[in-house]
Amino acid sequence: MSNVEHDSAVRRCGSGPEGHEPAGHEVEVLTPRDVPLGGPRAMRVRRTLPQRARSFVGAWCFVDHYGPDDVTLRGGMDLPPHPHTGLQTVTWLFEGEVEHRDSLGSHAYVRPGELNLMTSGHGICHSEVSTARTTILHGVQLWVALPDEHRGTARDFVRYVPPTVRRDGAAIRVFLGSLVNSVSTVATFTPLLGAELILDAGACLTLDVDLAFEHGLLVDDGDIELEGTVLHPGELGYLRPGIATLKLRNVSLTRARIVLLGGPPFEEEIVMWWNFVSRNHDDIVRAREQWAEGSERFGAVQGYAGERLPAPELPNATLAPRRNPPRS
**Model confidence pLDDT, tens digit, residues 48-79:** 999 988 999 999 999 999 999 999 887 889 99
Question: Quick one: pLDDT at residue 23?
Answer: 47
Assess whether pLDDT exceeds 80 at residue 239. yes
Does the pLDDT value for residue 326 go beyond 80?
Answer: no
Residue ranges of E strands in 177-314: 178-179, 182-183, 193-199, 204-208, 214-221, 224-226, 229-231, 236-239, 245-250, 256-263, 271-273, 276-278
| pLDDT confidence of residue 125 | 98
| Mean pLDDT within 116-131 | 97
**Choice between 288 and 15, residue whose per-residue pLDDT is larger:** 288
How many CB atoms lie under 10 A from the CB of residue 101? Answer: 19
Count CB atoms within 10 A of the CB of residue 12: 15
Pairing of strands 60-70, 136-145: antiparallel
Query: Rounded CA gap, 325 and 54, in Å?
Result: 7
HSE on the CB side for 72, CA within 13 Å?
A: 2
Residue 24's pLDDT band, with cuts at 50, 70 and 90, is: low
Q: Is the pLDDT of residue 308 over 50?
A: yes
User: What average pLDDT does the structure give for the chain?
Assistant: 91
DSSP class of residue 157?
E
**For range 117-125, the mean pLDDT:** 98
Q: Say whether pLDDT at 287 is over 50.
A: yes
- Can you give the pTM of this predicted structure? 0.91
- Residue 316 above 60 pLDDT? yes
Q: Are 63 and 102 in contact (CB under 8 A)?
A: no
What confidence tier does 264 reach under pLDDT thresholds 50, 70, 90? very high
Q: Quote the Cα angle for 256-261-251, to 5°.
A: 25
Q: What percent of the chain has pLDDT over 70?
A: 91
**Helices and strands, counts by H and E, the chain:** 3, 26
Q: What confidence category does residue 17 fall into, taking pLDDT thresholds of 50, 70 and 90?
A: very low
- Work out the average pLDDT over 247-263: 97
pLDDT digits (tens, 9 = 90+) for 274-286: 999 999 999 999 9
